[in-house]
Every structure is written in C-alpha cells, then in structure tokens.
C-alpha cells in the first residue's frame, strides 16, 4: 500500500509494501519470494535445494581447487583413460601436467576423485588406490600418505588439518599434515557428501547430493567448530564465508572460468574435465533446481478509497526468460461481497486446479501476451482485483519484482481545451491515445531520474566499474582491487581540476602507487635569481654567461656546453625552464613494472611542453627539495689545503681554510661546514 499526506496516485505491490495476497492459502499457490527483494517466482519443487550455478560460484566441485594466485587452478582428471594432476598458472593459459610419468613415477594416479589446496600444500584423494597423499611446494615433495578406504571429498582447515569424507560413512575424519590421525568431527554429515569446504569463519560447509527422478539435488549444510550437528545454511551466509571462485558454468562436458582481462573486462575460458579448451557453446549452463510449472497469485480487493474510481495503468517490473510466460489480469467493482464469488475454475482448463477469483471469468481484462505496461480498460469502480499467473518449463521461471497500479486516470488531456471532452466517446479515445505518449515520456523521465545512480562509484556493482572508468576516460589495471578502483573514480573530479599542476601530479601518483613523491621544478633553482635580504657583495654568484654556452673569447675550454639552438641572450631565463625532477621511494607497486606505469601516468598528467626526469629508489636520501645528499655528496672532512702546492689556488673558490695547530682539527663543523664543493644546503 502507498500512502502519504496527499491523495494517493498509485499503489505498489512488492516485497517492501506487500503483495496483498488473499487470505486463503490457494490464493498464492506454487509461488515463493513474497518477502524477498529479488521478486516473486515459481516455487521450487524440492524446498531447500540449492541452485548449482550459485553453489559453484563459492564452492567448486571436488575435482577442482584454487591455487595461491588469482588465476592458479588445479584439476584432477578421471580414469579412464588415466588420471592426472593438471595445473593452470595464467588467467588465459593452458593446463599442464604437474607430474610427467617418466620423471615422477611416485606421482602416478589411478583414479583421483578429489583435490584440496591450502597455500603451498596440496592433497589428492585416489579412490582406486584407497589413499590420500599430501604434497608441499605445489606438488614437488610428498610429505604424507594416508590409507583411507572409500575415500571421498577432502578439504584443508584453517588450523592446518585435513578433513576426509568417506563414501557410505557418516563420519568426517581429521588428519594432520604429517598424516597423523586426530579423531573425527563431532558433527555428522546428513547425507552423501558431494563436496566439503572450510570458510573464512572456520566453519565446515558440506554439500550433499540426492537423486530424485534422475535429477541431482544439492543441499547446503554448515557446522561451527563447536557444534555437534550440521544445520541447513542459506546462500547469503555462504556468499559471506567464501571468496568468488570465478567458476561461472559447469556441466558434464566441462566448466568455464571467468577472470579479469587486461582492459578490466571479464574474460571467460572454458575447458573439458580433461583440461582441453572448449567453446562456451559446448558447455550448457546449469538448469537450476526443479521448479513448479504453474503458479498463481490472487490479491485481495485493492481499495482506492474513491467511489467510482477510474483506474489508469498497470506497470510491471519483471524478467521473463525464454520458455516462460507472465500474465497479469485485472478487474474492477464498485462493491465487494466475499460470500458471492462468481469465478468459474472450469472456464480455463489449463488452470482448473487453481481458484478463479471473485470476479466472473468474463470480467477479467487480459492484456496481450508478454505485456508489462497496459491501460486498465474497466468500468469505474472503487475496488480493483489483480490476478498474476506465472508459467515455466520446470527450471526457468519469471521473476516479478514490482507491480505499480496508477489511479485515478490522468493523461495529457487535462492540459488540452475543454472542447476535447464534449463527446464521451471522443474523450475516451483521446485519453487512450495520449496515454501512449505519456507512457513513453514517463519512462524517459524515470531514466533521467535514475541516470545519476550509474555514476555513483560507491553504489554500482564491481562489474560496472570498468565501464564507468571508460566513460570517464580512465582505464584500470587488471590487478587493481574494486576498492582502489572506487577510490580512483571518487577522486577523478579533483584530479581533472588539478591536471597539469604539481599538486595534481602529486595526488595522482599518491592515489595510484600509494606513495608521496618529491617534485622539484628545475626552473626555480636558477642561481641568477637567488639574491635575498641577507645577500652581500661577492657572496652570491649570479648567472655566468661564459658557462651557459660556449662563446668565443668569453668561455674557457671544457667549462661550457656547446649549443646550436636558442637565443644565447635568453639563457639566464630559460635555464631549467619547463623541466622538473620526480623522485619517489620504491614499494611493492613499483617493484616490477612500476617505471613504465609511472611514466605513462606522468605523461598523461603533466603539461605537454614540459620534460620530466624520474628517479625511483636509491641509496641516498633527499633533504628538502634543493639538495640530494647521498647521490654525489658525502659528509667527510676535506683534506687540508696547501696554498701553492698544486699551482695557484684562489681563495673562496677552490679551497677551505683551516684553523691553526691549536684550533679544531676538522675542517667540517656544523653551521660552518662546506658540504662537498658545489652543493648548497638550504
């Protein structure tokens, strides 16, 4: 129900407001999800069964196990022809055999049925050999062999233990990494264990399988370390306990893994259960749990509170997959009497097992097939009855999230002159005609109202972030986490405003590489402008033209560079202009390919006419932004000079005066020392 301070203009049917289902249990027959925001759907034939597609997104099948890296996977193949251990290292790489038979006869498998991994440890269950082998180093060294008959799924725990389930047994055994037996879990499996896993909450998760009319049904169970029995677990808890596996499809033919590509978009690779590459069309997606093929909802009378109300429009927010159908019918009445039901179940043989509702079968308005937006063409009445019928193929189902009923009728005719209402038949036609355009305009207005939500970096799903980045002219690295991508998108308006400035470049580098750089504009280090309030004659060296570039009759040999471009008279002004130095310490993000990425970032953020020199890491340290101590400078006393020993020595240029024999024995003193010869510390 929708209410407010003013007269109501619509009624909602959804999980938040309610679906106004009738009192009788038959009024909402074979439907579920009335209290779930996802929407109403056909009910499952076997309540509690888990959709395999949702299950494998968190817990992979027993033959698959994820390695340490984001794209590392292990797969054990079945026999015949022969059982092998395969490994995939790259996101788009092929499966390779871990143990070549001619090099490692001890790694020969008879019929491996399950695999488990934890960091650098690897465990394989071989049913024909009745053994479970534990390896370290990703399969390089055999550390333990456990003899277990009728071995089944296995899993590592967070406490460095291995759980082993057995066929035909209701006990789950615990072993150490050295193969020592440590007892059994206090909780017993409730059925045949198909796979086992341990979540981030240290709880043990079981997936049991049950056969029903040649169908495999999967059920999810959970037991905390201190619990004595497994309890049914909802999907929401499983999603929080496990990281997404990247497994998006699986069938008897093979499976598909999805990973993030170089451009940030998902890339899907499909393989057979023997590690051969397959096309995605060769792997049929999971059909989900069996569902009812028909379902119906009959609402109670929806009261408008307006006598002889002229109901306007029905809008349905729903997904209707192929092979399914959705039909929403309405009827109106000025009064309602529960004891005088007029519906006839036999009027529609396909729905004879469902109640027909209170109105007569001839009074229902049935829109065109597949219509999700239609006008209510019913006589004026205070009450409205709604009937929703869903059909499916036993697996797929329509999903109805919301139904909005507009009232009373309001169209663009209200803005036209009164002459268009003189004729009742013409008025009715004009209203229906204008409502077609009103519907399109309202959809556009709704899209405009919701468009800012697409630019909300904190509200969109992780899959939308690459598109949002490309929309804002930003390409994400494949290894960036969703949190880093959202932080970059959040700071983009500020970065665009400061682009081309020192502050903008510093913020961009700190945002991408998690380090604050030192940026020095070389044009500001020119000595010709270094006069201050404490400058004295002969104490500050101005710009020397003889050393800016070689000039005949003015420059000494080997003292000035030879330049063939530019105006020599502008050398004092252009020395160091349009150049800057960038120095930053090394970290994990800059260890491998950081220089290339940093170079691309600097080129995209700096002005085009400037030239940057980049220094990453080093053994020295930076003192302020003027002097680099440790690169070409050392803190050490200078040798005592001897005037005239090596030629004429000019004081104040090439020597350091020392004190007499009774004075200090060091030529470097804090506050009076000369660091190096050509270095000035400020």
Which domains, and CATH codes, for the chain? 10-37+291-410 (2.60.120), 52-282 (2.120.10.30), 505-629 (no CATH), 632-682 (no CATH)
Choice among 73-82, 290-299, 417-426, 561-570 with the minimum mean pLDDT: 561-570
Best-predicted range by mean pLDDT among 23-37, 364-378, 525-539, 553-567?
A: 364-378
Place of tokens 């507009």: 406
Place of tokens 């803190």: 635
The string of DSSP letters for 275-316 reads: S-EE-GGGSPPP--S-B-SEEEEEBPPEE-SSTT----EEEE
Which residues, including other chains, have CB under 8 Å from residue 598's CB and lie 6 or more apart?
A: 509, 513, 590, 614, 616
Place of tokens 């749990």: 289
- 26 pLDDT band, cuts 50/70/90, is confident
Determine the pLDDT at residue 668: 44
- First and final C-alpha spacing in the chain: 74
Determine the pLDDT at residue 621: 54
- 530 pLDDT band, cuts 50/70/90, is low
Task: Find out whether the peptide bond into 492 is cis, omega within 30 degrees of 0.
Answer: no
Residue 664 has pLDDT above 60, yes or no: no
Contact 88, 97 (CB under 8 A): no
CA-wise closest residue to 193 among 229, 159, 225, 169: 169
Which residues, including other chains, have CB under 8 Å from residue 416's CB and lie 6 or more apart?
A: 430
- 432 pLDDT band, cuts 50/70/90, is confident
User: What is the overall mean pLDDT for the chain?
Assistant: 81
Residue 318 has pLDDT above 60, yes or no: yes
Rg (CA), the chain: 39
- 268 pLDDT band, cuts 50/70/90, is confident
Greater model confidence, 89 or 69: 89
Determine the pLDDT at residue 115: 95
d(CA 488, CA 331): 53
Contact 154, 114 (CB under 8 A): yes
- By CB neighbour count within 10 A (0-12 exposed, 13-18 middle, 19+ buried), where does 453 fall? exposed
d(CA 308, CA 28): 28
Residue 265 has pLDDT above 70, yes or no: yes
Residue 338 has pLDDT above 50, yes or no: yes
Determine the pLDDT at residue 445: 84
Long-range Cβ pairs for the range 131-139 (8 Å, 24+): 132/162, 132/164, 132/175, 134/162, 134/177, 134/179, 138/67, 138/87, 138/98, 139/85, 139/87, 139/98, 139/99, 139/107
Determine the pLDDT at residue 429: 85
Residue 519: other Cβ atoms inside 10 A: 19
Choice among 115-124, 203-212, 673-682 with the minimum mean pLDDT: 673-682
Query: pLDDT tens, 195-224?
Result: 999 998 899 999 998 887 777 889 999 999
Residue 302 has pLDDT above 60, yes or no: yes
Choice among 206-215, 402-411, 484-493 with the minimum mean pLDDT: 206-215
Determine the pLDDT at residue 544: 63
Greater model confidence, 391 or 285: 391
Determine the pLDDT at residue 675: 45
The residue-averaged pLDDT of 114-126 equals 92
d(CA 401, CA 396): 16
Query: pLDDT tens, 135-149?
Result: 998 888 899 999 999
Greater model confidence, 553 or 510: 510
Determine the pLDDT at residue 625: 47
| % the chain with pLDDT above 90 | 28
Determine the pLDDT at residue 161: 94
- 630 pLDDT band, cuts 50/70/90, is very low
Best-predicted range by mean pLDDT among 262-271, 367-376, 410-419?
A: 367-376
Would you state the structure tokens that stand for residue 189, as one six-digit string? 């499996």
Choice among 26-30, 276-280, 559-563 with the minimum mean pLDDT: 559-563
- 643 pLDDT band, cuts 50/70/90, is low
Determine the pLDDT at residue 470: 84
- By CB neighbour count within 10 A (0-12 exposed, 13-18 middle, 19+ buried), where does 102 fall? exposed
Determine the pLDDT at residue 676: 45
Residue 401 has pLDDT above 80, yes or no: yes
Contact 265, 81 (CB under 8 A): no
d(CA 172, CA 161): 12
The residue-averaged pLDDT of 353-375 equals 86
Residue 249 has pLDDT above 90, yes or no: no
The residue-averaged pLDDT of 292-301 equals 92
CA-wise closest residue to 367 among 411, 329, 312: 329
Which residues, including other chains, have CB under 8 Å from residue 398's CB and lie 6 or more apart?
A: 41, 42, 318, 319, 320, 321, 324, 325, 326, 390, 391, 392
Residue 165 has pLDDT above 60, yes or no: yes
Residue 173 has pLDDT above 60, yes or no: yes
């Amino acid at each position: 129900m929708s209410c407010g301070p003013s007269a109501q203009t619509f009624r909602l049917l959804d999980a938040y407001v309610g679906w106004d289902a009738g009192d009788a249990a038959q009024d909402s027959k074979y439907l579920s999800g009335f209290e779930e925001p996802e929407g109403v759907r056909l009910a499952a034939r076997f309540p509690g069964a888990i959709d395999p597609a949702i299950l494998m997104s968190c817990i992979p099948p027993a033959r698959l196990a994820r390695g340490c890296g984001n794209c590392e996977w292990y797969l054990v193949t079945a026999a015949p022809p022969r059982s092998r251990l395969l490994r995939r290292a790259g996101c788009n790489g092929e499966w390779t055999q871990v143990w070549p038979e001619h090099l490692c006869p001890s790694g020969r498998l008879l019929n491996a049925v399950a695999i488990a991994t934890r960091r650098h440890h690897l465990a394989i269950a071989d049913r024909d050999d009745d053994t479970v082998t534990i390896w370290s180093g990703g399969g390089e060294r055999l550390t333990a062999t456990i003899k277990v008959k009728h071995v089944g799924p296995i899993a590592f725990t967070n406490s460095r233990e291995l759980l082993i389930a057995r066929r035909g047994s209701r006990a789950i055994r615990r072993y150490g990494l050295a193969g020592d037996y440590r007892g059994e879990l206090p909780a017993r499996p409730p059925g045949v264990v198909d796979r086992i896993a341990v979540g981030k909450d240290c709880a043990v998760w079981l997936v049991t399988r049950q056969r029903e009319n040649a169908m495999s049904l999967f059920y999810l169970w959970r037991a905390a370390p201190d619990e004595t029995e497994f309890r049914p677990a909802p999907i929401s808890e499983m999603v929080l306990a496990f990281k997404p596996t990247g497994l998006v499809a699986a069938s008897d033919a093979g499976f598909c893994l999805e990973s993030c590509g170089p451009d940030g978009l998902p890339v899907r690779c499909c393989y057979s259960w023997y590690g051969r590459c397959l096309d995605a069309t060769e792997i049929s997606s999971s059909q989900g749990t069996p569902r009812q093929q028909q379902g119906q909802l009959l609402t109670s009378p929806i009261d408008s509170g307006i006598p002889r109300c002229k109901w306007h429009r029905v809008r349905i927010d729903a997904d209707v997959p192929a092979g399914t159908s959705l039909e929403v019918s309405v009827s109106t009445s000025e009064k309602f009497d529960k004891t005088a039901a007029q519906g006839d179940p036999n009027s529609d043989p396909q729905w004879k097992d469902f109640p027909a509702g209170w109105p007569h079968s001839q009074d229902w308005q049935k829109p065109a097939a597949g219509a999700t937006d239609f006008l209510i063409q019913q006589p004026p009445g205070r009450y409205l009855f709604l009937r929703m019928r869903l059909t499916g193929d036993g697996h797929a189902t329509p999903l109805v999230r919301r139904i909005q009923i507009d009232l009373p009728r309001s169209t663009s005719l209200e803005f036209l002159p009164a002459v268009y209402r003189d004729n009742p038949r013409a008025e009715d036609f004009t209203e229906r005609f204008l409502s077609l355009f009103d519907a399109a305009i309202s959809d556009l207005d709704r899209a405009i109202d919701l468009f800012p939500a697409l630019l909300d970096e904190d509200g969109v799903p992780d899959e939308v972030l690459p598109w949002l980045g490309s929309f804002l002219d930003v390409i994400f690295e494949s290894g960036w986490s969703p949190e880093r991508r959202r932080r970059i998108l959040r700071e983009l308006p500020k970065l665009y405003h400061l682009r081309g400035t020192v502050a903008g470049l510093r913020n961009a580098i700190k945002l991408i590489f998690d380090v604050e750089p030192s940026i020095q504009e070389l044009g500001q280090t020119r000595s010709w402008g270094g006069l201050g309030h404490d400058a004295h004659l002969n104490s500050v060296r101005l710009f020397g033209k003889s050393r800016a570039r070689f000039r005949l009759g003015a420059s000494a040999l080997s003292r000035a560079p030879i330049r063939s471009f530019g105006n020599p008279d502008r050398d004092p002004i252009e020395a160091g202009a349009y150049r800057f130095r960038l120095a930053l310490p090394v970290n994990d993000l800059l260890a491998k390919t950081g220089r290339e990425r940093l170079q691309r970032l600097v080129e995209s953020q700096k002005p085009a006419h400037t030239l940057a020199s980049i220094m990453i890491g080093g053994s020295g340290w930076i003192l302020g932004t003027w002097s680099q101590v440790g690169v070409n400078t050392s803190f050490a006393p200078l040798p005592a000079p001897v005037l005239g020993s090596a030629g004429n020595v000019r004081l104040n240029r090439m020597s350091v005066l020392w004190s007499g024999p009774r004075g200090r024995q060091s030529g470097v003193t804090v506050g009076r020392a000369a660091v190096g010869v050509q270095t000035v510390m400020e």
